[in-house]
């Protein structure tokens, strides 16, 4: 593998050790509830308004949506609903006879409540509201609330509220940061605690989710966005460059990687990135991210697959001649985008796949947000008398070997063994 451009960035000093500060915030909310949340909202966001957004404000935000934006959000929600409904249909209650008279089953039960965190920092993200809320709804979650930070003295950004109104979310809270996660985990005045928290956020949100996992379920720990593009000589340099820039503009810490099977293409993409950056209204974040974190290498397909599987990127783009044939080589990624027409940005917004995905290499052991995030697999067992006898004959030697006579007793009593 020949590196043509390497990333140079390090973890920013400000985010290296935030655990003590986040712990203070979490513990303050645990002790003081709403009072602490209000204090942190005042300190971090300069916000002193109502924590819960009124239904009138939510409805007003929807009415203010530009028609084209509203239409696009509606279709995006429909596409996400279609794909996530399909996911739910795969998870059916099933029973199998594992041996004569022994029946084992599984079902998938939704959690009772979930909170969707919708970021509101540099960019308002109504698309994240759609991804989280629709996945939870298709799973069958009864109570879905939204947490989104205030963008000013009037509360959350209007386009986020408008999207939440379209999704018929009745309970929306103008709270962000670690205090929002703690409020969801413990509950505060007017807000009951939830079972699961899903959605990306800044480093403070992520650290709070990490600290509170166990007290509440979480979808994962989100970090800076990532894309790895594998491209061969059939790929268009401008399209590859556009996918790299699309992820780079998320955050100065975002990582964009090109693994090119064609050296000339790699050089062309470098030139195209510079050209396209010049066409952005404000290329600052994208340029900083690409300069510090962008990687370009020339390699074989086998080397590309080995590298990608090791990195386990959030997004994998296969801009190659036969992407379907190449896909089995790649085992660790959040979501893959196949072929020249499949922009990774489609998945961010409207295609139906979810954009809340594992980052930081966690795709090695985790997947993205889906209906299963809000479902609990529950197994059940039933036996007849014949099955009980067969199981007791097998189970009692094991319980005896483990030195657990109570287990032996529970099995023998089922089949009428006299221990007097």
137 with 49, same domain: the answer is: yes
Domain-terminating residue out of 176, 196, 218: 218
Given 171, 207, 249, 314, which residue is catalytic? 314
User: Quick check: is 108 in a domain?
Assistant: yes
Q: Is the pLDDT of residue 11 over 70?
A: no
pTM for this model (two decimals):
0.93
306: CATH: 3.40.50.1980
Give residue 317's domain range: 224-367
**pLDDT for residue 282:** 93
Q: Tell me, yes or no, if 109 is annotated catalytic.
A: no
**pLDDT for residue 66:** 97
192 with 269, same domain: the answer is: no
**pLDDT for residue 8:** 84
**pLDDT band for position 415 (50/70/90)?**
confident
User: Quick check: is 343 in a domain?
Assistant: yes
pLDDT, average across residues 172-192: 97
Q: Is the pLDDT of residue 337 over 90?
A: yes
Q: Is the pLDDT of residue 262 over 90?
A: yes
Among candidates 229, 205, 248, 219, which has minimal Cα distance to 131? 219
Dihedral of the alpha carbons of 405, 411, 414, 420, in degrees to the nearest 10: -30
Tell me the DSSP string of 75-141: HHHHHHHHHHHHHHHHS--EEEEEETTEEEEEEEEE-SEEEEE---SSS--HHHHHHHHHHHHHHT-
179 with 277, same domain: the answer is: no
User: Quick check: is 373 in a domain?
Assistant: no
Domain-terminating residue out of 158, 193, 218: 218
CA distance 369 to 360: 15
The greatest distance separating any two alpha carbons of the chain, rounded to the nearest whole angstrom, comes to 88
Residue 58 CB partners (closer than 8 Å, separation 6+): 161, 164, 165, 169, 172
Q: Is the pLDDT of residue 7 over 90?
A: no
**pLDDT band for position 420 (50/70/90)?**
low
* φ/ψ of residue 296, rounded to 5: -135, 130
Given 84, 157, 250, 315, which residue is catalytic? 315
Q: Which two tokens stand for residue 105?
A: 């089953």
Domain-terminating residue out of 158, 183, 218: 218
282 with 208, same domain: the answer is: no
Q: Is the pLDDT of residue 419 over 60?
A: no
87 with 208, same domain: the answer is: yes
pLDDT, average across residues 331-357: 97
- C-alpha distances out from residue 16 to 13, 164, 221, 359, Å: 5, 34, 15, 17
138 with 193, same domain: the answer is: yes
pLDDT, average across residues 295-324: 97
- C-alpha distances out from residue 196 to 53, 291, 355, Å: 21, 37, 18
360 with 392, same domain: the answer is: no
Q: If residue 319 lies in a helix (H) or strand (E), which one and from where to where?
A: strand 315-319
Residue 338 CB-density burial (10 A; 0-12 exposed, 13-18 middle, 19+ buried): middle
199 with 232, same domain: the answer is: no
User: Quick check: is 289 in a domain?
Assistant: yes
**pLDDT for residue 123:** 81
* 117-121, 136-140, 335-339, 408-412, range with the lowest pLDDT: 117-121
Q: Tell me, yes or no, if 315 is annotated catalytic.
A: yes
* DSSP state for residue 351 in the 8-state scheme: S
User: Quick check: is 11 in a domain?
Assistant: no
* φ/ψ of residue 157, rounded to 5: -60, 140
363 with 396, same domain: the answer is: no
* DSSP state for residue 200 in the 8-state scheme: -
């Amino acid at each position: 593998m020949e590196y043509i451009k390497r990333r140079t960035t390090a973890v920013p000093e400000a985010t290296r050790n935030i655990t003590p500060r986040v712990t203070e915030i979490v513990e303050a909310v645990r002790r003081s509830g709403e009072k602490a949340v209000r204090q942190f909202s005042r300190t971090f966001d300069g916000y002193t308004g109502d924590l819960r957004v009124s239904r009138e404000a939510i409805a007003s935000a929807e009415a203010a949506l530009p028609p084209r934006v509203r239409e696009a959000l509606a279709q995006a929600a429909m596409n996400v609903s279609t794909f996530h409904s399909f996911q739910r249909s795969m998870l059916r209650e099933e029973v199998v006879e594992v041996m004569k008279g022994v029946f084992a089953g599984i079902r998938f039960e939704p959690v009772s409540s979930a909170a969707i965190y919708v970021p509101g920092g540099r960019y308002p993200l109504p698309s994240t509201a759609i991804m989280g809320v629709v996945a939870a709804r298709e799973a069958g979650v009864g109570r879905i609330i939204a947490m989104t930070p205030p963008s000013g003295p009037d509360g959350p950004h209007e386009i986020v509220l408008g999207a939440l109104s379209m999704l018929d979310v009745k309970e929306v809270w103008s709270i962000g940061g670690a205090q929002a996660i703690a409020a969801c985990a413990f509950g505060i005045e007017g807000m009951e605690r939830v079972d699961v928290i899903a959605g990306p956020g800044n480093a403070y949100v992520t650290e709070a989710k990490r600290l509170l996992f166990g007290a509440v379920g979480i979808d994962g720990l989100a970090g800076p966005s990532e894309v790895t593009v594998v491209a061969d000589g059939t790929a268009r340099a401008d399209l590859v460059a556009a996918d790299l820039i699309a992820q780079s503009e998320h955050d100065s810490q975002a990582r964009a990687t090109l693994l090119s099977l064609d050296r000339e293409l790699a050089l062309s993409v470098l030139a195209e990135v510079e050209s396209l950056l010049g066409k952005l209204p404000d290329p600052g974040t994208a340029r900083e991210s690409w300069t510090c974190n962008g990687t370009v290498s020339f390699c074989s397909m086998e080397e590309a697959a080995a590298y990608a599987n090791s990195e386990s990127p959030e997004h994998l783009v296969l801009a190659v001649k036969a992407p379907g044939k190449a896909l089995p080589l790649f085992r660790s990624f959040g979501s893959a985008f196949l072929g020249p027409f499949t922009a990774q940005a489609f998945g961010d917004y409207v295609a139906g796949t979810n954009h809340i995905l594992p980052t930081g290499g966690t795709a090695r052991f985790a997947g993205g947000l889906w209906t299963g995030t809000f479902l609990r697999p529950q197994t059940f067992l039933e036996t007849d008398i014949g099955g009980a006898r067969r199981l007791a004959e097998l189970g009692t030697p094991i319980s005896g070997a483990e030195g657990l006579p109570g287990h032996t007793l529970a099995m023998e009593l089922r089949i009428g063994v006299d221990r007097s």
